[in-house]
């Protein structure tokens, strides 16, 4: 179909979203997109969720950290932010989620806010509490495995 | 803006991890509600134990044996504040069964904690909290079968007890449980705003993954009918409580409006 004249095209905003999980979680694009839609549908209803039109444009997730670009309509950025904030788990894995910034183009969004994952994660034993425990260390963050699951700590705790 | 969190051993993230995450999200301060997560700031490590009241020590040893017994910098609010550039506030959340034990706990913790919260959720506890000026925050008054009415709201206003609005269910629950929690929040909001009782807002994060940045909290709250500026006020109120209590606990403070000045030294 012939594309729309410029003044009729929807105006978009692109949300740079930072994601944090426990190191054993594996998220994929589809499950994250589904979580976003469910969150928007539950919080804003069908009508509101259609207005916001949340679409996942790019997604990456490694050990314990990830990032995504989410597209939303310009007039409904506040609702989009609310829907993103209400994503508390993806496929049963709890996620920490944070809007790093909002841009008017995908390119500006990626240049300004993406690609911060930089630090690689390593597995090593750390002193936590009164015992040596295995942990996944990523920059300052340090997820310690204990009997009752992971505990989020930092290198400041384990020195 | 400040956020109040639960920390390890009560939850899945240590104070340091919460502080690192909250600083990245743009908070100016972090109120640590967990009783055993930090050491008292004003006592040296070796003398910390005898100064703290006995019940707290007993509880911490029996209920959480895996807690780090060594007193490292990761348990010192000042060291944490310096490391992460965020104000770490030493607080406590009292979860008592009945008003008389709550009263004892408030008396015990008030001298050495900057912020004292009392977990509500029971009509008698809610009533006790709002009538007790030594309590700073009535936390989660609507959970379970707890309820708030005009009498409690007036008492909260007169005694300066902040009523907490817990956005946790909005962010983390779905379906009927979220609907009921939101209905309770709306009722609470109508009563509290009508009587102009002080309020605080928090996401009640149990781990660093449950923390949300201030703008996200405001956006989510706005989507369910809160006023944005009112929510920001609620987030700032934690900091105001902490600042007020720190001033009251400082040596120069005598009573509201009366301070020990610099001319006192002569006499």
CB B36 within 8 A of CB B67: yes
- Residue-wise over A111-145: b if at least 16 C-beta within 10 A, else e? eebbeebeeebeeeebbbbeeebebbbbebbbbbb
What's the confidence (pLDDT) of residue B71? 57
Domains of chain A and any CATH numbers: 6-113 (3.30.70.3250), 121-154 (no CATH)
Model pLDDT, residue B78? 87
Residue A22, chain B, CB below 8 Å: the answer is yes
CB-based burial label for A107 (10 Å; 0-12, 13-18, 19+): exposed
Using the Cβ of A141 and the Cβ atoms of chain B, whether some distance falls under 8 Å is answered with yes
Inter-residue contact A116 to A67 (CB < 8 Å): yes
Residues in B touching A159 (Cβ below 8 Å):
72-74
Whether residue B50 is predicted with pLDDT greater than 60 in this model: the reply is no
Chain B closest-CA separation from residue A4 CA (Å):
31
Confidence check: pLDDT of B255 > 90: no
| B83–A153 C-beta distance less than 8 A | no
As beta bridge partners, residue B89 has B31
User: Tell me: the pLDDT tens digits for B152-211?
Assistant: 999 999 999 999 999 999 999 998 999 999 999 999 999 999 999 999 999 999 899 999
The strand ranges marked E within B120-198 are 137-139, 162-166
Question: How many Å apart are CA A118 and CA A139, to the nearest integer?
Answer: 9
pTM of the model: 0.87
pLDDT computed for residue B74 by the predictor: 75
Q: Any CB–CB contact under 8 A between A14 and chain B?
A: no
B220 has a chain A CB within 8 A of its CB: yes
Mean pLDDT of chain B: 85
Confidence grade of residue B262 (pLDDT, cut at 50, 70, 90): confident
pLDDT above 50: residue B44: no
Minimal CA separation from B8 to chain A, in Å: 8
Predicted local distance difference test score (pLDDT) of residue A77: 95
Within an 8 Å CB–CB cutoff, is residue B60 touching chain A? Answer: no
Closest of A109, A141, A132, A32 to residue B13, by C-alpha: A141
**Shortest Cα distance, chain A CAs vs residue B232, angstroms:** 15
Q: Which of B153, B171, B255, B165 is nearest to B207 (CA)?
A: B171
In the predicted structure, residue B140 carries a pLDDT above the cut 60: yes
pLDDT for the residue B55: 44
**Whether residue B62 has pLDDT greater than 50:** no
Burial (Cβ within 10 Å: 0-12, 13-18, ≥19) of residue B173: middle
CB atoms near residue B58 (< 10 Å): 10
Q: Residue B17: which of A42, A130, A141 has the nearest Cβ?
A: A141
Residue with tokens 């609310």: A82
In angstroms, rounded to a whole number, what is the distance separating the alpha carbons of residues B199 and A103?
A: 34
Enumerate the residues of chain B whose CB falls inside 8 A of the CB of residue A157. 14, 16-17, 72, 74
What is the reported pLDDT for B259? 82
Kind of pairing between the strands at B258-259 and B253-255: antiparallel
- Residue B215 and residue A151: Cβ atoms within 8 Å? no
Looking at residue A38, the DSSP 8-state letter turns out to be H
Query: Which DSSP symbol is given to A7?
Result: G
Structure tokens at B105: 């706990």
pLDDT tens digit at each of 159 positions of chain A: 899 999 999 999 999 999 999 998 889 999 999 999 999 999 999 999 999 999 999 999 988 889 999 999 999 999 999 999 999 999 999 999 999 999 999 999 999 998 765 668 888 888 887 788 888 988 888 899 888 888 898 888 887
What is this model's ipTM? Answer: 0.92
């Amino acid at each position: 179909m012939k594309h729309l004249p410029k003044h009729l095209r929807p105006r978009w905003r692109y949300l740079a979203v930072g994601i944090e999980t426990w190191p054993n979680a594996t998220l994929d694009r589809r499950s994250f997109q589904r979580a976003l839609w469910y969150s928007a549908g539950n919080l804003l209803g069908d009508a509101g969720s259609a207005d916001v039109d949340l679409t996942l444009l790019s997604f990456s997730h490694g050990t314990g950290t990830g990032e995504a670009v989410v597209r939303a309509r310009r007039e409904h950025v506040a609702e989009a932010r609310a829907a993103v904030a209400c994503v508390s788990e993806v496929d049963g894995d709890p996620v920490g989620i944070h809007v790093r910034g909002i841009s008017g183009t995908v390119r500006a969004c990626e240049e300004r806010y993406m690609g911060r994952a930089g630090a690689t994660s390593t597995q090593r034993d750390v002193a936590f509490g009164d015992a040596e425990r295995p942990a996944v260390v990523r920059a300052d963050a340090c997820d310690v495995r204990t009997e009752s699951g992971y505990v989020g700590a930092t290198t400041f705790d384990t020195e | 803006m400040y956020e109040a969190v639960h920390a390890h051993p009560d939850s899945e993230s240590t104070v340091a991890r919460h502080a690192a995450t909250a600083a990245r999200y743009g908070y100016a301060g972090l109120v640590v509600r967990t009783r055993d997560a930090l050491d008292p700031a004003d006592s040296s490590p070796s003398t910390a134990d005898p100064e703290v009241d006995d019940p707290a020590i007993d509880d911490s040893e029996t209920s959480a044996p895996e807690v780090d017994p060594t007193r490292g910098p990761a348990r010192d609010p000042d060291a944490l504040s310096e490391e992460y550039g965020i104000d770490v506030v030493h607080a406590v959340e009292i979860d008592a069964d009945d008003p008389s034990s709550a009263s004892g706990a408030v008396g015990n913790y008030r001298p050495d904690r900057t912020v004292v919260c009392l977990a509500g959720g029971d009509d008698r506890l809610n009533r006790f909290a709002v009538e007790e000026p030594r309590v700073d925050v009535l936390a989660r008054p609507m959970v379970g079968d707890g309820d708030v009415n005009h009498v409690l709201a007036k008492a909260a206003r007169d005694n300066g007890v902040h009523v907490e609005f817990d956005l946790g269910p909005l962010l983390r629950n779905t379906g009927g449980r979220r609907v009921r929690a939101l209905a309770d929040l709306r009722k609470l909001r109508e009563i509290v705003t009508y009587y102009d009782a002080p309020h605080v807002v928090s996401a009640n994060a149990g781990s660093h993954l449950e923390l949300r940045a201030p703008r996200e909290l405001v956006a989510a709250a706005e989507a369910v009918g809160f006023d944005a500026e009112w929510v920001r006020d609620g987030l700032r109120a934690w900091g105001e409580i902490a600042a007020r209590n720190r001033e009251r606990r400082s040596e120069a403070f005598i009573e509201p409006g009366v301070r020990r000045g610099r001319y006192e030294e002569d006499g």
